[in-house]
Amino acid sequence: MDISDKNALRRQVESLRWFHQIDFGDGIISPGWIKASKIRRMSRLIFDRPIVGKSVLDIGCWDGAYSIEAARRGAGRVLATDHFAWAPGSWGDRRCFDLARTHLAPQIEVMDADLSDLTPDRIGTFDVVLFCGVLYHLRHPLLALEQVARLAKEVLVVESRIIAPFSSRPFMRFYPGKELDGDPTNWWAPNRACLEAMLRSLGFRTVRFKRPDRRLRRGLFHAER
């Protein structure tokens, strides 16, 4: 990349509002809320097995950091979807995803679709489905998990806000306002036992839990067929 192209890209990147801090190379890193170091750490947890040649669906991809990581790791097909983060008036900006995809992984397929539109008839099924940072924003979490589970042939990866990680009794707490992290779109927080039980009820034989943060406020679950 020559200096004029590099400067033009830097100006584009810096003009947008990013959620993910994405490394474009040549010293250009988007000023995202989720830092690149965390994205690298989460990627190691999410992609805990080879995905070369696998099909990957990233639901709620936002700026596309994990879609890009799937492509970088050799996935045969990657479909990135979002709607809420790209909708007019949202905190997010679809232009961020498009810019990152164009420069880093143009082979990624993209679909602006609400969760209800993601059905096997419309998009098919995928070896690996990512459902990260979405569940607790939904008013009907078990119904959503049931729909997402139908899309996963091998493994469904769920990352969520959780509570009471050491309780063996499955339960979920409802937040009708801004009680959870000051965000009115945070409706639910399951505990670890609850989310594991929900995934098993949907036919996944094995559910593995990983701890993505030290405060145990979030959980990462690999649900396997």
Model pLDDT, residue 7: 84
Average pLDDT over residues 108-113: 98
Q: Quick check: 1 pLDDT over 70?
A: no
Alpha-carbon distance of 4 to 154, in angstroms, equals: 45
Arithmetic mean of pLDDT over the chain: 95
217 contact partners, CB below 8 Å, separation of at least 6: 161, 162
- The DSSP code for 27 is T
Alpha-carbon distance of 98 to 30, in angstroms, equals: 13
Model pLDDT, residue 140: 96
Model pLDDT, residue 89: 86
Model pLDDT, residue 216: 83
pTM of the shown model:
0.95
Average pLDDT over residues 81-102: 94
Average pLDDT over residues 166-176: 95
Average pLDDT over residues 115-133: 97
Average pLDDT over residues 99-114: 97
Model pLDDT, residue 5: 80
Model pLDDT, residue 84: 93
Work out the pLDDT band at 4, boundaries 50, 70, 90: confident
Q: Quick check: 217 pLDDT over 90?
A: yes
Question: Tens of pLDDT along 12-48?
Answer: 999 999 999 999 998 999 999 999 999 999 999 999 9
| 99, containing H or E segment | helix 94-104
Domains of the chain and any CATH numbers:
49-224 (3.40.50.150)
* Nearest CA among 172, 12, 137, 145 for reference residue 62: 137
Work out the pLDDT band at 134, boundaries 50, 70, 90: very high
Question: Tens of pLDDT along 187-198?
Answer: 999 999 999 999
Work out the pLDDT band at 184, boundaries 50, 70, 90: very high
